[in-house]
Structure formats: structure tokens, C-alpha cells
Structure 1
Amino acid sequence: MIERIGVIDIGTNTIKCCIADIDAGAFLVDQELSRTTRLGEALRHSGIISPLAFARNLDAIRELHALCLDASCSRVLYVGTMGLRTATNAAEFIHAVYRETKCHIRVLSGIEEAEYSCLGTLSTFPEQVGNTLMFDLGGGSSEFIFTTDGTISRSFSIDIGILRVRDEYCKTDPISKADYERMYSILYNTLKQYIVSTPDRQVIGIGGTVCALGSVEQQLPVFDADLVHGTILSFAALERQIELYRSQDNTARKQVPGMPLERSDVILAGATIVNVILELCGVPRFTISTRGVRHGILQEYCNGLL
């Protein structure tokens, strides 16, 4: 019997919703929805979900939950990540969501977030041979998963995300040369503690801003996850995008063909993080995945573990 469920992933930058049909131990995605709600706006400095972010995210959850019910989902599973791991008023937000939906948010640890990203991605890249690094670039943190022949050998989470990096280093628009060089240097010196050069390693990037890089590379008039998934972006093409974004203000970035409008103000921070990862790995390209935590949750549900 086919069962339809929804998964809502409350991230620091974006809320993502996936509605899927479960049948015979497998899932088939029916709808993918996202709302850029910036739960972690100014979180690093204030330590709390601001009143505006609180209300904005609760409104989006009401909308997405209603869409899940309208789509005849028998269950809606909620997970939260970095923003809800660190905000001092996270419990208040979780309770507010429960009042609205009667659903509890499961707040994932950094390791759980990494492993679900891996599980969701491997479901569409099943033939993994040799060494692979998957990174999931989020708003407040980034998760790294190292695999050998499809089996996780190491995974961890670092408090480096696109919102945090943008807020810390992108002080002017366009960014100044000095601020960009400082951002790159600090990211490089931080990430080199975790990543060593392995030129034969396959690298897979996950996350909305990573997917935006693929959309721009293809100059898509409307974002299309099916077209972006599996896109191979070279180091040289990534550097061309970075040089473009460094020279533009946010208004100009919004006009770049293929640019999702909600990503224009964080695209430079995200692209720079990816650039550092590729340089440290010593690889000339990476593959983009539109899958992530929500698909890992679906896979675990199919496996009877939720």
C-alpha cells in the first residue's frame, strides 16, 4: 500500500519540504518546496531567534504543513538543524510549532545531519567507488562526510555556514578586496585542519547555495532541481562565478542568468567556501546534488527505522 508523507527540514537559512510516496521500501518524490526564511538571522551575535525571524518561520511552517495535509500526507516529519541546536529560545520555537501542527521537531546533532545528508545523496548516487567527500553547505553550519566505496569512514559538522560567513565578512556591497581576502584566508586556515589533499577523491556538494551555482552555470530561466542534480562544476568555472560576484552589488547579482533571487546576497560567501574545499582537496571539479537531509529521512523511513 502506498503511503504519502511529508518531511520538513527547518534550516538556519531555508525551510525545505519534501512530499513523497512510500511503496515497497522506496520513495518517489512528488513535490519539493522551499522557503528562504532566515531563522538564523543575526543569531551568531544575539544568541536568539529574533522576533521577526520567529514569526517569519512560523508563518512558513503553517503554510508548508497545510500544503502537506492538502496533498494527503498521512504523516509530517519535522527536523531542525544548526539554528535550533544553538538558539537559546529554540525550545520556545519548537513549542510554538507543536501548538500549530501537533508535530514535534527532532533537532539533529551535527553528526546526524551529516549522516542524513549522506544517506539522501547516496540514494541517487548509489555506485560510489573509491574515496568521496560530500559536503552539505547550510546557513549556520556545514557538514562533511567522507566515504570509501559508499561506506562512511568519517563525518563531522563545522560552524561555518553561508549566513555566518556573509554576516562576518561581507561588510560592504560589493565586498572590498581586503574583506574578501580576509574571508578567504580565515576559511582556508580553518578548513585545512579538517581536509587534506586527495586528488583522486570525488567531491559532491549539497545545499541550496551549491545548487544555485549549478543553476547559474546552466543559466536556467527558472530553477529546475532535476536539471541541476548531477551537474559537474569545474574549479575554473567556480572561480569565474566568484570573480563576477566580487565585482557586483546585490542588485546586479539578482540579474545574473540562473540566479535564484533569494540566494543573491549569500552566493559569494557560499561560493568561496566551496572554492576553499576544492583547493584543499586538490580536485578540479565537483558534482552538485539537490538531495539532502530530507531525502535521508525519507530513506530511513523506508527502511522502517522511523
Structure 2
Amino acid sequence: MADFSPPDNNNRADQRGVEKSGKVADFRYRPPSQSKTPSAKRSLGDARNGQKPNSTSTKPSFQAARGKPAHRRQAYAALDLGTNNCRLLIARPSGENFTVIDAFSRVVRLGEGLAMSGRLSDEAMERTLGALKVCAEKLRRRNVHLARSVATEACRRASNGPAFIEQVRKETGIVLDIITAEEEARLAVLGCHILLEGGEGQAVIFDIGGGSTELILIEPGGKIPRIIDWQSVPWGVVSLTDTVGRCTGTREERLERYAEMRRVVAGSFAPFAKRIAKHANQGEEIRLLGTSGTVTTLASLHLELPHYDRREVDGLIVPSQAMRDISTRLSGMSLEERGELPCIGPDRADLVVAGCAILDSILDIWPAERLGVADRGIREGILRSLMAADAEGERHRMEMRGLEIRNAK
């Protein structure tokens, strides 16, 4: 895992009593009525821009610890409940990689209205419970051996977040761990760093979520990157949209609102921007990798895809200026115009502009010429953690068993 010890003042101090969660949780799925536990992709180059594939990343690897204990073919699961989406991934170890055997994703907008009220609304919780019940059925049907389910910014901030977590446990059997922004950043890096463009320069990985954005400065080299510095700000596509407002009205009004979004985000990024300025100006080629619905959506528009295709987007490297140009174009469009674009549609039409404002602000403070795009993150980071920790535990048990046998002799 990453060496993660950022300064205490990098994180917000308003986390309402949430305990730090640096552990690899051993959360096995339990149906509410039971008490027992149920037993490659395309190259990283953008051919349209004449870029060569990155040979170090053309074959992504989610490495688990070595060793082949008897249960390694069993299923592991990672569930990420964010401010906007509910996502589940179920996989089995496969050598040094893993093979996905089931997945689920649904826009639930759990944090809708949270910025104004400080609470999760009844409607949002109902939508989310519906999605989590689907996840519970998948976990049950796949007989998952070990799972971790996490909740992020919406549940961290909401005054009724803990009560909702308990309701989820009672109705679905899923035990959600409300993780800190620190753990969220660490898992995102662990899940997507393999897609970082090769090079010697400093690198930033970012995750634009629904309720927050994490920015992480990592040290180049090494099997798992070492995190040098990081910051989480309370602006994601939902929270920023709810606070500043939808980009409606005339074109001039929409552009003014977009500029206000940029101003708000830039103010929150300022402390991190000041700390990393020396790294951005060292004369080396800096690198940037983003994991979020914003960057995958903009990458789809850049490729002019008729519909979203993860195989085309995950691992793509695009010119940063192309992403800025798309952001500028979207910020001036009406809601209806954005909704008619492929890969956006009505579900993302009102939120994508906030994501563009956040991305533009990131490029202001870390002006990399190219942007890596990752359609992977927290869930993959959780799976890697679970598989590695489980394999390590199995090795320890085998060593202890061998010691007992030798002592018996």
C-alpha cells in the first residue's frame, strides 16, 4: 500500500466525529435475516493525436500478494457509495491481476440538496436503498468471500449519515464504512496509479467525486507510489452545483455562473496549489491522471464516441488543452443542448459543468500538457487491498501451521 502520512492540516477538520479508517476492513456480507457469513485494454496512446503507447502501462495489473492459498478462486467485492453514484465490483484473483465477474453502477444522487440542508433527503435515501438492495442480491448470488463497502463525502457530511448507515445495515445486510477523505484519496491512488503516464517528472492524481475532490501529489517510481502531499476539498459535481446553482439562463448568465464555480474551487485549492508550486516548476515534464465521471465523459466527447465505451476511455491520454476546449464549449451550452450530446444525456447534463470547472481549476495549478484518464479508482483500490491482505493472512496462517507441526515433532 502507499506510504500515506500527509500533514494533519491537509484535510478538513469538519468531519463530524468520523473516525479515521486506515484499516482493511473485514466486512463479510450478512443478509439481514441471517447471522452467519455466507459460505486489457487498448494502448494508452491516443492514436488520433499520434501519441505512442506507454509501454509501462499497456497491460494494467492489480497485483495481489504472491502465494496461492486454497480459497484464491473465491470472490471478493468492493462497494463504493458516493455522493452521486453507487458502484459495486465483484472479482476473483487471476494470477497477479483479477477478473471481474459482476458489476453494478447506478446514479442515486444521495447528496442531492445536502449542501443546503445538511441532511440526506428522504427521496435520496430511498433511491440509494433501492440500489443497495440490488447490490445485496448480487453479493448473495455470487457467494462473496470477503467484501468491503465504503461511503464517502455525503455520509461524512450529513447529520443523519450514521443513521442512514444503520438503516442500510438493517434493510440490506450491507455494513458501510464511512471512510475519511484521507482513506478515499489513498484508495483512489491504489486503484488507478498503474495508468499514470511514464516519465520522471512529479505527478498528481485527482478524483472528482459528487461531494468532494481529492488531489494527491505522488513521488515517481516504485511499485506503489508514495504520497507526498494531498488535499480534499468539499466540492464535487453535486455539492458545487447545489451551492452555486445550475448553469441555466442566457449564455452570458451561464458563463458567469461557470466563472463563479471556477472562483469558488480555486479558492479551496489555493493552499494545496501553494504547496505544490515548487514541484510544478522544476523544469521536468509533470504528469496528471484523473479518475472520475467528469474526465471519462470529456474523454468520450474528445473521441466522439456514439456511446460510452470503457475499453476506449480507460487508460487514454489526451491533450489537456483539448479537455479545456470541451469544458469551455459545455459551459456555454444550455441544459437541453448538453443533454443531447452522446455520453452525457439528461442524467449528467446538469452536473457535468461543475466537473468541468473543477478540472479547469486543477489544470490551472498543475499545468500538465497531457491528461491521463482512468475509469477505475476506489473500488479497484479496495479489491487490491482485500486480496493482498487476505493472501498475507493466509501465508501467516500457513507459517504458523508449519511451526506447530515442527514443534510437534
**SS, match of residue 189 in structure 1:** helix
Equivalence for 2:305: 220
Equivalence for 1:66: 137
Equivalence for 1:80: 151
| Unpaired segments ≥5 residues, structure 1 | none
Q: CA RMSD in A?
A: 2.1
1:182 matched to 2:229? The reply is no
Which of 323, 340, 344 is 1:238 aligned to?
323
Question: Normalization by structure 2: what TM-score?
Answer: 0.70
| CA deviation profile, 1:198-255 (whole Å, cap 9, x unmatched) | 1622010111222111112122222222211122232321222123212222221121
Which of 359, 368, 373 is 1:274 aligned to?
359
**SS, match of residue 49 in structure 1:** coil
The aligned amino acid for 1:287 is: G
**SS, match of residue 16 in structure 1:** strand
- Which structure features the higher share of strand residues? 1
Equivalence for 1:135: 206
Which of 232, 250, 258 is 1:157 aligned to?
232
Tell me by how many angstroms 1:17 deviates. Answer: 1.0
The aligned amino acid for 1:145 is: I
**SS, match of residue 365 in structure 2:** helix
Take 1:283 and 1:124, find their aligned partners in 2: how far apart are those partners? 16
| CA deviation profile, 1:253-299 (whole Å, cap 9, x unmatched) | 12113325422211111011111111211222211111111111001
Question: Normalization by structure 1: what TM-score?
Answer: 0.92
Tell me by how many angstroms 1:24 deviates. Answer: 5.1
| CA deviation profile, 1:167-194 (whole Å, cap 9, x unmatched) | 1223441553322222222322331321
Retained in 2: the 8 A contact 1:5–1:21?
yes
Tell me by how many angstroms 1:87 deviates. Answer: 0.8
| CA deviation profile, 1:127-174 (whole Å, cap 9, x unmatched) | 674411000000111111111122211223111111111112234415
203-212 or 179-188, larger mean C-alpha shift = 179-188
Take 2:256 and 2:346, find their aligned partners in 1: how far apart are those partners? 26
Q: Structure 1 38/67 Cα, relative in aligned 2: closer, same or farther at 3 Å? A: same
Which of 5, 22, 31 is 2:93 aligned to?
22
Equivalence for 1:43: 114
**SS, match of residue 355 in structure 2:** helix
The aligned amino acid for 2:217 is: F
**SS, match of residue 126 in structure 2:** helix
Tell me by how many angstroms 1:123 deviates. Answer: 4.3
Take 1:284 and 1:229, find their aligned partners in 2: how far apart are those partners? 18
The aligned amino acid for 1:186 is: V
| Unpaired segments ≥5 residues, structure 2 | 1-71, 394-409
1:286 matched to 2:361? The reply is no
Which of 95, 103, 114 is 1:32 aligned to?
103
Take 1:129 and 1:18, find their aligned partners in 2: how far apart are those partners? 33
Identity rate of aligned residues, in percent? 26
- The aligned length equals 306
Take 1:203 and 1:181, find their aligned partners in 2: how far apart are those partners? 23
Take 1:283 and 1:130, find their aligned partners in 2: how far apart are those partners? 10
Equivalence for 2:382: 297
Q: Structure 1 304/127 Cα, relative in aligned 2: closer, same or farther at 3 Å? A: farther
Equivalence for 1:192: 270
**SS, match of residue 100 in structure 2:** strand
Equivalence for 2:65: none
Take 1:91 and 1:186, find their aligned partners in 2: how far apart are those partners? 29
Take 1:177 and 1:156, find their aligned partners in 2: how far apart are those partners? 27
Q: Structure 1 210/67 Cα, relative in aligned 2: closer, same or farther at 3 Å? A: same
292-301 or 101-110, larger mean C-alpha shift = 101-110
| CA deviation profile, 1:27-53 (whole Å, cap 9, x unmatched) | 222333211101111111111110000
Take 1:124 and 1:72, find their aligned partners in 2: how far apart are those partners? 31
